[in-house]
């Protein structure tokens, strides 16, 4: 049974914990450096990326987590979590940092403010249609050669990637956890 952490500094932690539990994983809520020991994988949930970034620094988690990710710790980032694993952030704060383990550039709030937040159906390679809830979601605006695009969504200005994978790193612009969708988490657990 894989031991999977959910970064629990801020955001929709509970929904990820529930899905991992339902899939039989052993779940660790990560708030302190000690919580990183013995993890087989990590989920960075939805929330505010600037808040998470600050709390990663104040909790002392930033550098130990950076080292674990550099050593290949599998990670799934949803929404703010996608921003935290991306290589480049467009339209963020000038000093905004990320772990940079996924070779994509993302635009913060790329689909607009909350009044433009939307739900749709996303067709995922190898899985099929899943409910896609996009909340002030980041938009992937560039992908590197190692990145596989598993789903795209066309929001009126041409299709952009909304679920991407690079090795054991998965980045998702929407929130499968909000609707109890388990198949993307299953895909993630298969690499843990």
Partner 1 sequence: MTTSPDSSTVGSTLVKRGFADMLRGGVIMDVVNAEQAKIAEDAGAVAVMALERVPADIRRDGGVARMSDPQLIQEIQAAVTIPVMAKARIGHFAEAQILESLGVDYVDESEVLTPADEEHHIDKWAFTVPFVCGATNLGEALRRIGEGACLIRSKGEAGTGNVVEAVRHLRTINAQMRRLHSADAAELAGLAKDLQAPLPLVREVAELGHLPVPMFCAGGIATPADASLVMQLGAEAVFVGSGIFKSSDPVRMAEAIVEATTHFRDPSTVAKVSTGLGTAMRGSETASLEQRLAERGW
- Which spans of this chain sit near partner 1 (rule: CB under 8 A)? 8-15, 31, 46-48, 50-51, 54-55, 58-59, 79-80, 91-93, 96, 108-109, 113-125, 132-136, 151-156, 159, 175, 178-179
Q: What angle do CA 89, 158, 110 make, to 5 degrees?
A: 30
Residue whose CB is less far from partner 1, 41 or 92: 92
Residue whose CB is less far from partner 1, 59 or 191: 59
Residue whose CB is less far from partner 1, 2 or 43: 43
- Tell the smallest beta-carbon distance from residue 88 to partner 1 (Å): 15
Active site residue 15: no
- Catalytic residue (choose from 79, 172, 181, 185): 79
Active site residue 32: no
Q: What b/e sequence results for 128-154 when a residue is b if at least 16 CB atoms lie within 10 Å of its CB, and e otherwise?
A: eebebbbbbbbbbebbeeebebbbbbe
Q: Are strands 75-78 and 169-172 parallel, antiparallel or unpaired?
A: parallel
Alpha-carbon Rg for the chain, nearest whole angstrom, is 15
- Tell the smallest beta-carbon distance from residue 1 to partner 1 (Å): 26
Active site residue 79: yes
- Tell the smallest beta-carbon distance from residue 173 to partner 1 (Å): 12
- Catalytic residue (choose from 16, 153, 177, 185): 177
Q: Helix/strand/coil (H, E, C) string of 53-115? A: HHHHHHCCCHHHHHHHHHCCCCEEEECHHHHHHEEEEECCCCCCCCCCCEEEEEECCCCCCHH
Q: Which residues are tagged catalytic?
A: 79, 175, 177
């Amino acid at each position: 049974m894989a031991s999977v952490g959910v970064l629990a500094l801020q955001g929709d932690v509970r929904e990820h914990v529930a899905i991992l539990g339902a899939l039989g994983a052993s779940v660790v809520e990560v708030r302190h450096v000690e919580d990183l020991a013995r993890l087989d994988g990590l989920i960075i949930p939805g929330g505010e990326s600037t808040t998470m970034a600050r709390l990663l620094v104040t909790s002392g988690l930033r550098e130990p987590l950076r080292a674990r990710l550099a050593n290949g710790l599998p990670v799934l980032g949803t929404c703010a979590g996608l921003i935290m694993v991306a290589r480049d952030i467009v339209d963020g704060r000038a000093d905004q940092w990320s772990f940079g383990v996924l070779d994509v550039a993302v635009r913060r709030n790329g689909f607009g403010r909350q009044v433009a937040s939307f739900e749709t159906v996303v067709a995922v390679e190898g899985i099929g249609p899943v409910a896609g809830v996009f909340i002030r979601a980041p938009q992937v605006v560039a992908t590197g050669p190692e990145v596989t695009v598993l789903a795209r969504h066309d929001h009126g200005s041409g299709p952009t990637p909304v679920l991407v994978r690079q090795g054991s790193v998965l980045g998702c612009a929407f929130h499968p956890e909000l609707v109890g969708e388990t198949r993307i988490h299953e895909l993630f657990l298969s690499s843990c």
